[in-house]
Chain A
Amino acid sequence: MFEAPSFSSLNLDVALPGIFLAGWATLLLIVDLFIPKERRRLTVWLALAGIAVTFVLNLVMYNRHEEAFKGMFIADPFSGFLNIVILLTAVMGILLSVDYLRRTGIERGEFYSLILFTTVGMIFMAGANDLISIFVALELLSIPLYVLSAFRAPDLKSEESGLKYFIMGAFASAFFVFGAAMVYGATGTTNLPEIFSALGGLGQPGGPSVFLMILGAGLIIVGLGFKVAAVPFHMWTPDVYEGAPTPVTAFMSVGAKAGGFAALLRIMIVGLPILTVNEQAAAAWQTTLWLIAAATLILGNIVAISQSNVKRMLAYSSIAHAGYILMAVAAAGTPGIGDQAAQAALVYLLSYMFTNMGAFAIALSIEKDDGSGTSIDDFKGLGKSRPLMAAMMSVFMLSLTGIPLTAGFMGKWLVFQAAIQANLIPLAIIGVLTSVMSAFYYARIIINMYFGEGEGDSAEGATSYVRWTVYIAFAGTVLLGVAPMLVTTLTDRISLAVSMLP
């Protein structure tokens, strides 16, 4: 018999950051209608204010470890840390958009509401503790992004981008739901901790069927693999990234990834860590993720070498970086490594967020109003025309390569450490060798900016909003590289696996 749960038992305050932002986004959509066109800036500031309040709420909640919506949602340091990443991404994404939308003539108020909605999706993704709520959050994350990708319509590339993303994303969601259904069929529940408990009797008479579980887990990996752009589910990435307005590309290259990895890590570490045929062995999905990670690393890095457009190059680089995070996810399959791997993945996401937003911000600065000017050759001589921007771009490129004293090094360091601790040494070797490959194409930007001849672009897109984004990204990149303890004190509290042990 169905009984409506009492309001207080929902424990709503735990999900307050997400709920607040959802409400704020809805309000903003309405308020925006009454803001005259020439005062559109107000919408921007309102959106940023909403994010700021959400950020504070999130910090207040950081150390809590409670469930809401009857276990559908959980607030813990894992989701708290991811929320920091997601909200910072949103802030930088919005700052990048302000002048870009105006100069490319696509300024519409819905833009900011859509960004906020997809941010809400990401926040719920980070805290979702149930396959159903993960799916709902996934859709909330994805649908506004489809619209945002096509925001430059009737520009053909942007339309193509939106359509391609939509079709591929719809497929991915279908895979995910089908996988979730299989898991439900096997265990009789969609709640992650309950799935974990049910897996104790895996393969025994009356217990969950091994076949259904493996199939379900595989389909879930496929579905989320699309979202995080893992090989072989990456085909959409370069076209979508190239066609979408640049601020949107920057935003989704980090945000969608953060959401996707949040769900992947939580499902694998909380729900399925003992999906294995014999006890004490690594989880059955480890080999699959291992192979996906290796393929992602190799393909992403090799194809990036031959790109001549910086947005496409960063798209393949984002595929490659998904590979490094997947290394950590694969490492989580070894018993006892789960928490460490999750921490490594999160630090990696944070470092990638700062670095990648900075790189996109500079690419956007030299982009022309008609969307051209994003070729690698357009960076020629930037060291002369815009010395400060070029210096910061160099730091971003070095950080993406993983050179010490930048955020990228700390991320790679922790990920490799997790992989070695999980005894995935061949994967770690592939990881470092592809890092060397990546040095080649990142260094090419530096070469163009400094070593070559050329007058240099005036980088007219670098308005004060964009410059502030670059400064924030630069500060984050260097600070995380020099003083990583600031971040690890936050991640040290993350424990997914231990808290769930029966």
Chain B
Amino acid sequence: MENTGFSLLTLVLFLPLVGFTILLFIREQQESAIKWTAFGTSLVTFVASLLLWIGFNNQEAGLQFVQRGDWLPSYGISYYVGIDGLSLLMVILTTFIMPIAILSSFNSHIFHERGRVKLYYLFMLLLEWAMIGVFVAQDLVIFYIFWEVTLVPMYFLIGIWGAERRIYAAIKFFLYTMAGSILMLLAILYVGIQAGTFAVPEIIAGIQNGTISFAFDGLFSTQSFLFLGFFIAFAIKVPIWPLHSWLPDAHVQAPTAGSVILAGVLLKMGTYGLVRFCLPLYPEASVAWAPVIAVLAVIGIIYGAWVSYAQTDVKKLVAYSSVSHLGFVVLGIFALNAQGIEGGILQMVNHGISTGGLFLLVGMLYERRHTKDIAAYGGIWKALPLFGAISLVVTLSSMGLPGLNGFIGEFTILLGTFGSDVLGFFYAMFATIGVILAAVYMLYMFQKVYLGELDKEENKNLPPLMWNEIAVLIPILIAIFLIGLQPAPFFDTMNASVGELVAHVGQFVTTVAQAVP
């Protein structure tokens, strides 16, 4: 199983870094060479990750494509990568979003104002490398390294190429997420010292056969503190209400591609971490804390939707809708049953595609009108019919219309929550309110921006979509319909892995019921 030679997974992981290195040697003036190298790299990485999917065995629950080598042996840290169904979907999501984000910035106005084309694409590829690393790392230290490294390129992307308040947003993003993750560092150290290894599969195996255990006797015990150390880091990233306040700033100030990556992938690192680390490493604490977290998730769903509706800035509206959508994901995960978790994972993919798509559309509007104020628009459909039609599909997908991708995820999550041993009817009921509210704010936005009379002079002569703008929207549309009409391959990919996880966590439900009245 453990492979020290060539590994396709390592190749996928390090391809962006290869492109990064090539890019270093291209001169700043050769803009098109820089762009196409970056895009080519991300496209090759995407193709390579599809090979991973083809070679992936759906029936196997454990890790596949494992590679392990020494990194810091005297401290028990190894370069340990591998993927299961969950990781695979996240890797594909990352490699799918990245070429789109890169291609979408080809003609962006930000380069006229700020320049530094080369630096921009360097950071893009660095970011892709670190994000893939987060999803494939199976050693806690390696995971933490990738996790923190994602901060740096994003910080620069927001800070250099962002909008007016970019410095404030960049530093807030950096400090907020670093504050959360650095507590996780202590928890990782503690776990590593207690378990004698940082390798996650080994720790989980140890928990299953009883050689490793983190003392648990209620909501505030050693295991719970470790759980919270991880949870807070992930909760800030997701973001779970009330830790979301960095998100609207970062999203609104970031350049379009930055918002797409933030919504598409970076936020998923938080929910991924919950499933990958919080649940299996601290099953008892997860069960005990699930109702509390689910309440936060439901508040987030409703709060996010409510605040979205109140926005006058279209980018902020989409940003707050993320809080609401990711509330669903967290709710599904902490339903702690197969349906909930699988729905959550699929919804992670869906949100990446739909909200990523929405940010692309908002970015295209901004490129044309240089404003994000909803009131400045109206009747855009008449000015740009193709653009309007695509926007309608993406908006409906984000709302969760049956037949499109969003519906499948939300529906499965609600089913999971309803049938959950730890949550139940009331959680599902309040979450459903969020589905209704989503329709309200999304349709409100669509109506104000796209429908109505084309009464504003500036909106009448908007330039049509450029080739690269159409090229990035097509894969988004394909993905929306593909998942909406044919979700089975996605569920098949994660079934075995999620099944094992649920079995592992499930055996603690009764023990926790005794410990926590």
Contact = CB atoms under 8 A, between A and B. Distances in A.
Interface of A: 383, 398, 403-405, 409, 413-414, 416-417, 420-421, 425, 428-429, 432-433, 435-436, 439-440, 443, 446-447, 450-452, 484-485, 488-489, 492
A383 B119 CA distance: 11
A432 B73 contact: no
Contact of B148 (A404, A429, A432, A492): A404
B182 A435 contact: yes
Interface in B269-304: none
Given A436-B178, A447-B171, A451-B159, A492 B74 contact: yes
Q: Chain A's interface: helix, strand, loop or mixed, by majority? A: helix
B72 A452 contact: no
Interface in B348-407: none
Interface in B132-161: 141, 144-146, 148-149, 151-152, 155-156, 159-160
Interface stretch (B35-43, B186-194, B330-338): B186-194
Contacts of A443: 155, 171, 174-175
B174 A404 contact: no
Contact of B166 (A405, A421, A451, A488): A451
Contacts of A404: 144-146, 148-149
Contact of A421 (B116, B160, B182, B193): B193
B204 interface: no
A451 B167 contact: yes
A433 B116 CA distance: 34
B193 A417 contact: yes
Nearest to A340: B75
A344 to B, nearest CB: 10
Contact of A420 (B74, B171, B182, B189): B189
A420 B187 CA distance: 10
B477 interface: no
A50 to B, nearest CB: 34
A414 B72 CA distance: 12
B227 to A, nearest CB: 16
Contacts of A432: 182-183, 185-186
Contact of B75 (A428, A439, A488): A488
B71 interface: yes
Contacts of A429: 183, 186
Contacts of A398: 152
A269 to B, nearest CB: 19
Given A420-B193, A451-B160, A484-B72, A409 B186 contact: no
B76 to A, nearest CB: 10
B453 interface: no
A444 to B, nearest CB: 8
Given A398-B152, A404-B144, A425 B174 contact: no
Contacts of A420: 186, 189-190, 193
B170 interface: yes
Interface residues of B, number: 35
Interface string B36-78: 0000000000000000000000000000000000111111000
A425 B75 CA distance: 19
Contact of B72 (A403, A450, A488): A488
Contacts, number: 84
Contacts of B141: 413
Contacts of A485: 70-74
A436 B182 contact: yes
Interface of B: 70-75, 116, 141, 144-146, 148-149, 151-152, 155-156, 159-160, 166-167, 170-171, 174-175, 178-179, 182-183, 185-186, 189-190, 192-193
Which of B116, B151, B182 counts the most A-chain CB atoms under 10 A from its CB? B182
A492 B75 CA distance: 10
A398 B156 CA distance: 12
Given A403-B148, A488-B74, A492-B74, 20 more contacts: A403-B149, A404-B148, A404-B149, A409-B145, A413-B189, A416-B185, A416-B186, A416-B189, A425-B186, A425-B190, A428-B186, A429-B183, A432-B185, A432-B186, A436-B182, A439-B175, A446-B156, A447-B159, A451-B160, A485-B70
6 contacts: A398-B152, A413-B185, A433-B179, A435-B182, A436-B178, A485-B74
Nearest to A436: B179
A185 B23 CA distance: 67
A332 to B, nearest CB: 16
A403 B152 CA distance: 8
Nearest to B158: A451
A417 B148 CA distance: 18
The 7 closest A-B pairs by CB, nearest first: A404-B145, A432-B182, A451-B159, A436-B179, A404-B148, A420-B189, A451-B167
A440 B148 contact: no
Contacts of A436: 175, 178-179, 182
Contacts of A409: 145, 148
A436 B232 CA distance: 15
B167 A452 contact: yes
B433 to A, nearest CB: 36
B343 to A, nearest CB: 33
B171 A440 contact: yes
Contacts of A451: 159-160, 166-167, 170
Nearest to A437: B175
A34 B328 CA distance: 80
B221 to A, nearest CB: 14
Nearest to B192: A417
A450 B190 CA distance: 37
A97 B147 CA distance: 39
Contacts of B171: 440, 443, 447
A403 B148 CA distance: 7
Contacts of B179: 433, 436
A413 B75 CA distance: 11
A339 to B, nearest CB: 12
A409 B190 CA distance: 17
A485 B69 CA distance: 13
Nearest to B160: A450
Contacts of B146: 404
B72 A447 contact: no
Contacts of A439: 174-175, 178
A488 to B, nearest CB: 5
Nearest to A489: B74
Given A398-B152, A436-B175, A436-B182, A417 B189 contact: yes
A200 B350 CA distance: 68
A366 to B, nearest CB: 20
A450 B189 CA distance: 34
A23 to B, nearest CB: 37
B497 to A, nearest CB: 27
A436 B184 CA distance: 13
B150 to A, nearest CB: 10
Q: Which of A383, A409, A451 is packed against the most chain B CB atoms within 10 Å?
A: A451
A488 B70 CA distance: 13
A443 B170 CA distance: 10
A476 B183 CA distance: 27
A378 B338 CA distance: 57
A455 to B, nearest CB: 14
Contacts of A417: 75, 189, 192-193
A32 B73 CA distance: 49
A416 B186 CA distance: 7
B156 A450 contact: yes
Contacts of B178: 435-436, 439
A447 B167 contact: yes
A405 B189 contact: no
Nearest to A402: B182
Contact of A405 (B73, B145, B182): B145
B175 A440 contact: yes
Contacts of B170: 447, 451
Nearest to A403: B148
A452 B116 CA distance: 14
B276 to A, nearest CB: 18
A244 B252 CA distance: 45
Contacts of A488: 72, 74-75
